[in-house]
A and B are shown apart, each in its own frame.
Chain A
Amino acid sequence: MSEMKERKDYTKGPLCLSGRGVTRIFGSGAKANTAVDHVDFDFHEGEFVSIVGESGSGKTTLSKMLLGLLNVSEGEILFQGKPRDISTRAKRNEYWKGIQAIFQDPFASYNIFHKIDAVLLDCINMRGGKNLPYEKKVEMMTEACSFVNLKFAELTNKYPFELSGGQMQRLMIARIFLLKPKILLADEPTSMVDACSRATILDMLLNLRDETGMTIIFITHDIGLAYYISDTVYIMEHGKFVEYGKADEVILNPKAPYTKRLISDVPKIHEEWDLSTVDLSDDQY
């Protein structure tokens, strides 16, 4: 075992994003389906938070609400201590300067008709750099690309689909590097890239946090990954947080039965994977 990496404690910083009784109900009447059910959370500045849940747990709906892409049915979201107001387009655009996202599928995240340059230039424009001289813009794009180990000179005039999945996802991080939002919401950014590229992307996210003090909300179904990367872990089941706390506490000493089951059902390397915890005749349709 190599020496433990030094990690600063980010869980005590000022509040960045909080939620009180956040709920989302799809449909109405008899068909109403509560995807997110009265959840409370407090994310701090610079904190690396993971929201862990299996498919259908409501984690993607929650992430859409945090991003302001989906309306909240009930409850409120507080941004930097104040209730979030995204009622007009101008206010939404202001909010989106503070929160940005990386999505799961890099192949679906790009407009395939736009070149890479356009993607990055758009970020510079959004940060008010529209009137900068072109040389300055190239310099900024080159810097952003080198932050994620890509060479801008090789990417310019290319289309995103000419890159591999891992490279596309890194370019997404370069985009975030240019935008420097307060909060980054990463929705399973590594689930569709190979194991070898995954490590690179995770390291870059950690670097991004360490350099800019960005809050990163990491949505994932992989509890091992969440444990490795995050300061705080929220476990989500059927639209509710069943347990949250510091990563070490939640993963090594789970309290909630769901967390316990989740951890025991994931195959492990050093501990025995106990198959006797499931009974084949239990599974009923």
Chain B
Amino acid sequence: MSNTLKNLLHSPKFMVGFILFIAILLTILIYPLFNPGNPLEMIGVGTFAKPGTYISLYDATSSQKETLKIANAEEKRIAAALSDEDRVKMLEWLSAYGVDVTEVDASNTDAILELWMANYNPDASIKGFTKSETRNFRLIQNRITELMSADTLIIYEEGAEDSKSKIVKTDYVNLNAIANVKTLPLGTDNFGRDVLKELVSAAGTSIIIGLIAGSVATVIGLTLGLLAGYLGGNADEIIMFITTVFTVIPGFVLLILISYSLGQDQRGPTIVAIVIGCTSWTWTARSVRSQVISLRNRDHVNLSKLSGHSLGRIILTDILPYIASYVVMAFILQVSSGILSEAQLSLLGLGPKTTTTPTLGLMMNWAMLYSAHTNGSWWAYFPVILTIACISFSLNLMNTGMDQVFNPALRD
């Protein structure tokens, strides 16, 4: 027994999978301590805030200002105000106007600006541009002149006569002096919820769903497999008939039908997990049965019978321990496939009900419903996919590692 453990610790595959899984678990347990609160709290109004650090503009304007003269501040400001599309458009206009822009790179703000200021003529009519495009060029021109000219922003409190404060371009505020700074490493989702917080909570729920589904599938599969394999005869025939019936009905279809008929209100994470478990036990039953059949005729079982031991005792002490490692491996795979099944179900909108707890599948579902994939809000779905992949990968890696340790024929 201890030797097997030693072997497991020597298996690089198992250890990588195990460490990865433990790291995910620890994150799930520890992260909420640093960032407490309801993961589904809508902190943002509006959808899909980009990942990054947000500072309170109000606090910034009322904070202690310092004047700093920084050489290329102006250029940076303009550079930030010009999007990539703007630059491309500007180069297009210039080249249509007859300026040689072959040498100019789109990222070189200085060069573009210099050519633009020297050549742009809002009244020049150039063929090949639509009206809206021509208007767009004027807007760009306005923005640039505004950034270059305006010196002072004057802020009035609502209803007040006097200005509250004036901000000039050389005013700076120490970040530490701003009272409200919020970092959203993965931005917010369609409802304005912190994606990272939601993701950590969802990963936890999904793992619990996986564990429940895996346990249900393993308990059903193991019991039926043990009975079918050990009893043989008619019991075997009946159990295998049931198993075959469950195998030929596509499991996922059954899952959809059960989930649908339960209705939205009944579908908590636990119920969904149990439904998943109840449809995926067949292959555990089959493989446990075949293992038991090969064990049933082993001499130690015969000797146990000759010693007058009861059926229950023989199954529990002479058969179960021999297939324990196998069952653990099957369990791990069931957990992994349970998590994937939940994700698939939820993606179709048949997952757990949506108001209290997030799951990985629900996050995908929300991202899809609010077209995160078409409007470029990668942070709403890509980290979820990555998390599902990491959990599955770590579980499968552990399983492969265990397989190599328990099954010497697979060792390389």
In the complex, what's the smallest C-beta–C-beta distance from A55 to chain B, in angstroms? 16
Q: Please give 12 more A-B residue pairs, beta carbons under 8 A apart, in addition to A103-B299, A123-B307.
A: A67-B302, A69-B302, A96-B306, A99-B306, A101-B303, A103-B302, A108-B300, A109-B299, A113-B321, A113-B322, A122-B307, A126-B307
| B236 adjacent to chain A (CB < 8 Å) | no
Chain A residue numbers with a CB within 8 Å of B298 are 108
A104 to B302 Cα, complex, angstroms: 12
For the complex, give the distance between the alpha carbons of A92 and B302 in Å.
Answer: 13
Interface 1/0 per residue, A83-114 and B, CB below 8 Å? 00000010011001001110111001111111
Q: Which residues of chain A come closer than 8 Å to B306, judged between CB atoms?
A: 67, 69, 96, 99-101
User: Smallest CB–CB gap between B179 and chain A, Å?
Assistant: 64
A12 CB to closest chain B CB (Å) equals 29
Is the pair A69, B305 in contact by a Cβ cutoff of 8 Å? Answer: yes
Can you offer 18 A-B residue contacts whose CB atoms are under 8 A? A67-B306, A69-B305, A92-B308, A96-B308, A101-B302, A101-B303, A103-B299, A103-B302, A103-B303, A105-B299, A108-B299, A109-B300, A111-B300, A111-B318, A111-B321, A113-B1, A113-B321, A123-B307
* Contacting residue for A113 out of B305, B308, B310, B317, CB 8 A: B317
Q: Which 9 A-B pairs give the minimum distances between C-beta atoms? A: A103-B299, A93-B308, A109-B299, A113-B321, A108-B299, A111-B300, A96-B306, A108-B298, A111-B318
Residues of B within 8 A of A122 (CB): 307
* A111: B residues at CB distance < 8 A: 300, 304, 317-318, 321
User: How far, in angstroms, from A97 to B299 measured CA to CA in the complex?
Assistant: 18
Give per-residue flags for A118-140: 1 if the beta carbon is below 8 A from chain B beta carbons, else 0: 00001100100000000000000
Interface-central residue, B308, B317, B322, by most chain A CB under 10 Å: B308
> Which residues A219-258 have CB closer than 8 A to chain B?
none
Question: CA separation between A126 and B303, bound complex, in Å?
Answer: 13
Evaluate contact between B307 and A110: CB separation under 8 angstroms: no
When chains A and B are docked, how far (Å) is the Cα of A103 from the Cα of B297?
12
Inter-chain contacts of B307 with A (CB < 8 A): 96, 122-123, 126
Bound form: Cα–Cα A114–B303 in Å:
13
Tell me the residues in window 301-354 of chain B with beta carbons closer than 8 Å to chain A beta carbons.
Answer: 302-308, 310, 317-318, 321-322
Count residues of chain A with CB under 8 A from any CB of chain B.
22
Return A105 CB to nearest CB of chain B, in Å: 6
Question: Which residues in window 246-284 of B have CB below 8 A to A?
Answer: none
Bound Cα distance A69, B296 (Å):
12
- Give the distance in Å from the alpha carbon of A110 to the alpha carbon of B321 in the complex: 13
B residues near A67, Cβ cutoff 8 Å: 302, 306
- The CA-CA distance from A23 to B158 in the complex, in Å, is 106
List residues 1-30 of chain B with CB under 8 A from any CB of chain A. 1
Interface centre among B1, B304, B305, B318 (most CB of A within 10 A): B305
A233–B302 CA distance with the chains assembled, in angstroms: 26
Q: B167 to nearest A CB, angstroms? A: 77
A109 to B306 alpha-carbon distance, docked (Å):
12
For B310, the closest partner residue in chain A by CB is A89
Determine the distance from Cα of A93 to Cα of B310 in the docked complex, in whole angstroms.
10
Cβ–Cβ < 8 Å partners of B310 in chain A: 89
Of all chain A residues, which has the CB nearest B319? A111
B232 to chain A, nearest CB (A): 12
Q: Which of B298, B303, B306, B308 has the most CB of A within 10 A?
A: B306
Give the nearest-CB partner of B317 in chain A.
Answer: A111
Cα of A185 to Cα of B304 in the assembled complex, Å:
15
Instruction: Kindly list chain B residues whose C-beta atoms are within 8 Å of the C-beta of A104.
Output: 299
Query: Which chain A residue shows the least CB distance to B318?
Result: A111
Give the CA-CA distance A69 to B306 in the complex, in Å. Answer: 8
Q: Which residue from chain B places its CB closest to the CB of A94 in the assembled complex?
A: B308
Alpha-carbon distance between A64 and B305 when the two chains are bound, in angstroms = 12
Task: State the CA gap A122–B309 with chains docked (Å).
Answer: 10
- A114 vs B318: C-alpha distance in the bound complex, in angstroms? 9
Contacts of A99 in B (CB 8 A): 306
Q: Which residues of A contact B305 (CB under 8 A)?
A: 69, 96
Please measure, in the bound complex, the distance between the C-alpha atom of A112 and the C-alpha atom of B306, giving whole angstroms.
Answer: 17
The residue on A at minimum CB distance from B311 is A89
In this complex, what residue of B is CB-closest to A172?
A: B303
**Cross-chain contact of A110 among B1, B300, B308 (Cβ < 8 A):** B300
B37 to A: closest C-beta gap in Å: 48
- Per the bound structure, the CA–CA distance linking A10 and B308 in Å amounts to 30
State the Cβ distance, B171 to closest chain A Cβ, in Å.
Answer: 76
- In the assembled complex, the CB of B305 is this many whole angstroms from the nearest CB of chain A, namely 6
Task: Return A184 CB to nearest CB of chain B, in Å.
Answer: 11
* Complex alpha-carbon distance, A269 and B170, angstroms: 111
Contact mask for chain B residues 70-92; partner A; CB cutoff 8 A; 1 contact, 0 none: 00000000000000000000000
Contact B303 A109 (CB under 8 A): yes
**A126 to chain B: which residues have CB within 8 Å?**
307-308
Give Cα A130–Cα B405 distance, bound, in whole angstroms: 39
- The interface residues of chain A lying within 8 Å CB-to-CB of B304 are 111
- Tell me the minimal C-beta distance from A19 to chain B in angstroms: 19
Q: Nearest chain A CB to B302's CB is how many angstroms away?
A: 6
Q: What A residues does B322 contact at CB under 8 A?
A: 112-113
Chain A's closest residue to B295 (CB) is A108
Inter-chain contacts of A93 with B (CB < 8 A): 308
State in angstroms the CA–CA spacing of A104 and B299 once bound together: 8
Q: How far is the CB of A133 from chain B (nearest CB, A)?
A: 22
A47-101 contacts to B (CB < 8 Å): 67, 69, 89, 92-93, 96, 99-101
Nearest-CB residue, chain B, relative to A126: B307
Q: How far is the CB of B60 from chain A (nearest CB, A)?
A: 68
Q: Cβ of A89: which chain B residues have Cβ within 8 Å of it? A: 310
Per-position contact with A for B350-381: 1 when CB-CB < 8 Å, else 0? 00000000000000000000000000000000
* A114 cross-chain contacts in B, Cβ below 8 A: 317
Which residue of A has the minimal Cβ distance to B324? A113
Q: How far is the CA of A112 from the CA of B321 in the complex (A)?
A: 9
- For the complex formed, measure the closest distance between the CB of A113 and the CB atoms of chain B, giving whole angstroms: 4
Which chain A residues in 175-211 approach chain B with CB under 8 Å?
none
**How far does the alpha carbon of A114 sit from the alpha carbon of B302 in the complex, in Å?**
15
User: For the complex, what is the distance from the CA of A132 to the CA of B1, rounded to whole Å?
Assistant: 31
Residues of B within 8 A of A109 (CB): 299-300, 303
